Amino acid sequence: MRHAAAFCIAFALALPWSARAQAPAEPGPSSSPGAPRVEFFSAFQMRLGALRFGVSDEQFAWEGRFAGDVDLVDFGSGRLNFAAEYDVVLGTERRAFDPTQGYYVLDLRLTRRFQNQEVGAVFHHVSRHLSDRSKPQAVDWNLVGAQYRRRSVFGAVRVEGLLHAGGMVKTLFVDYAWQTGGRLRVEREANRRATLIAQGSVDVLGVDESVAGRRRQVAAYGEGGVRLAGRAAAVELFAAVERRVDPDPLLRGTRAWPLFGFRFVNR
């Protein structure tokens, strides 16, 4: 698995052209709220991309991200959605593209729609691993919570906001007790092919102070860029800044850095 992931990342980086506190992965576009009947596999979205860390650090050079989500069942007034993501961090300690760590994110959501709004329950799992290095301690957690999403259109501008909150039901190694946060994405269509994009998020992690003697942690992310669309897919090019919580699976702390990246998305 590690070698396959490393090969895919190296291939993606050759194409032309956040433990951080992981919030629940973003689901793709849903089918029409007025769907008259139950539909299976009504929406599907894939994302493939990479980030370049804007720091000089042999542990953090690139990060590759593979993510997708599918509406398993759409029952008109709501949906059952499954999302998965795999991220791999590459450094330069042993070779030019040296996988140092990776993590998996799995989400299952059951939501209800109200016009341009959506509320629901979410089960969120994160598992973190070291790559080509021994890891004596398992690092993962499960969260159960709720989310609220709203989409709005103002002429050529599309806005989507998300609020989420939940409590940990199982943790290994981490001191997290609960998580809450929000994110906002804004898109403005410039022409038929190009769309300006901006998005940001803030996540607050409550902690059990008896585990490591620290207080709640705050992660933040902001980016701006452009999406260039083709007939079947689009590429988003962006620059970002991030404050990441626990960037090393076995070392607690925060780091901030600039990022530059791309991601391919289906339309």
User: Tens digit of pLDDT for each residue in 191-248?
Assistant: 989 999 999 999 999 999 999 999 999 999 999 999 999 989 999 999 999 999 999 9
Instruction: State residue 209 phi and psi, 5-degree precision.
Output: -65, -20
User: In order of start, what are the domains of the chain with their CATH numbers?
Assistant: 2-266 (2.40.160.40)
Residue 10: per-residue pLDDT: 40
pTM: 0.84
CB 232 within 8 A of CB 266: yes
**From residue 180, how far is each of 94, 109, 206, 259 by CA, in Å?**
37, 16, 8, 24
Q: pLDDT band at 18, cuts 50/70/90?
A: very low
Asked if residue 2 has pLDDT above 70, the reply is no
Residue 23: per-residue pLDDT: 56
- Which of 33-47, 51-65, 99-113, 135-149 has the least mean pLDDT? 33-47
Taking only the tens place, the pLDDT of each residue in 118-162 is 999 999 999 999 988 887 889 999 999 999 999 999 999 999 999
pLDDT above 90: percentage of residues in the chain: 79
Strand ranges, E, within the chain: 39-40, 44-53, 62-74, 78-91, 98-114, 117-130, 139-154, 157-172, 176-189, 194-207, 217-229, 233-245, 254-266
**From residue 185, how far is each of 17, 136, 150, 169 by CA, in Å?**
23, 39, 11, 29
Q: How much is the average pLDDT of 33-53? A: 86
